[in-house]
Structure 1
């Protein structure tokens, strides 16, 4: 990952922590906040992945890689003793949201080549980060299983999504993608 991307991600994490500190002091921690934040962080990797694919001519959709991710998270779900079907549905939504962001970024760069990234980030490094976030997200799903199935889930999810979107400074595309990625969290 380029130093600029690492610096941007570090700044976003610090901003999120600073924004949420007063909220955390004023009210009980939203149980879904860490999960939604990890989902947003994973989504934001769409930009460097799209840039890598722009430069190497790779296809946006990679059914083999997507199935590997789904198989891996299903196995992680079994390890955590939670429903693999729930987890794979959530990750299918996450993948589809990421693919949509990648297509949007490539379309934007095609229409305005001056905005396209000059360098190609390392796709393997982005995928390693995605894999780590996948494990974190499944662990959060397991840890927050009761909250994800509670009557307050939709309210907690809405509040967490708004807080994360604001803290990370998500644009309209990323806000929409985050809503799509998390849409099946509350069954």
Structure 2
């Protein structure tokens, strides 16, 4: 597991470095709150795991979509949200958007690999033992982060920061999907 965590860290570093160096206009950069920057950083980290999930599922032949697993995670997310006084429906909707964005990344990669006739990855991470624990560690951090920004979602600078957020190397469709629930109520 240590080897995969090291590989995960190594794979995240370039993406996080690219995110940190991404050009952002000066007014917006100065208006972003630390809470919004932190949330975007956590979302970037979560989405950066999607290629590892895609590799594992590619090797195993598992389906990208796993509704039963998603429902179990969403039930746990709602329980954790209640414990921190966060609207469980809002939390579940946010995580569903993260799932959808991750599945979009996985689908894009699988399509690319089919076209390239990609052989199984060696070594591919073990989804249950090595990848999911990383995602599980991010979940409570993401819940706290969305709680911290929830009251400010109608603020113009927060709306703009989220609408223009990019998550490392992710395409615009994935970015929009990831922030789709972080709208002004």
TM-score normalised by L of structure 1: 0.81
Report what 1:153 is aligned to: 158
- Distance change in 2, residues 1:68/1:103 (3 Å): same
Structure 1 gap ranges (5+): none
How far did 1:77 drift? 1.2
Segment of structure 1 superposing worse, 108-117 or 64-73:
108-117
For 1:4-83, what aligned pairs fall within 5 Å after superposition?
Answer: 4-17=7-20, 27-30=30-33, 31-83=35-87
Report what 2:180 is aligned to: 183
In the alignment, does 2:98 pair up with 1:94? yes
Give the Cα–Cα distance (whole angstroms) in 1 for the partners of residues 124 and 111 of structure 2: 17
- Distance change in 2, residues 1:72/1:112 (3 Å): same
User: Is the contact made by 2:31 and 2:157 (CA closer than 8 Å) also made in structure 1?
Assistant: no
Q: Would you say how many aligned residue pairs link Structure 1 and Structure 2? A: 178
Structure 2 gap ranges (5+): none
How far did 1:119 drift? 2.6
Report what 2:125 is aligned to: 121
How far did 1:70 drift? 0.6
Report what 2:149 is aligned to: 144
User: Is the contact made by 1:39 and 1:137 (CA closer than 8 Å) also made in structure 2?
Assistant: yes
User: Is the contact made by 1:38 and 1:137 (CA closer than 8 Å) also made in structure 2?
Assistant: yes
In the alignment, does 2:81 pair up with 1:84? no
In the alignment, does 2:113 pair up with 1:109? yes
Q: CA RMSD in A?
A: 2.7
TM-score normalised by L of structure 2: 0.81
Give the Cα–Cα distance (whole angstroms) in 2 for the partners of residues 44 and 27 of structure 1: 26
Give the Cα–Cα distance (whole angstroms) in 1 for the partners of residues 58 and 123 of structure 2: 10
Give the Cα–Cα distance (whole angstroms) in 2 for the partners of residues 83 and 178 of structure 1: 23
How far did 1:122 drift? 1.5
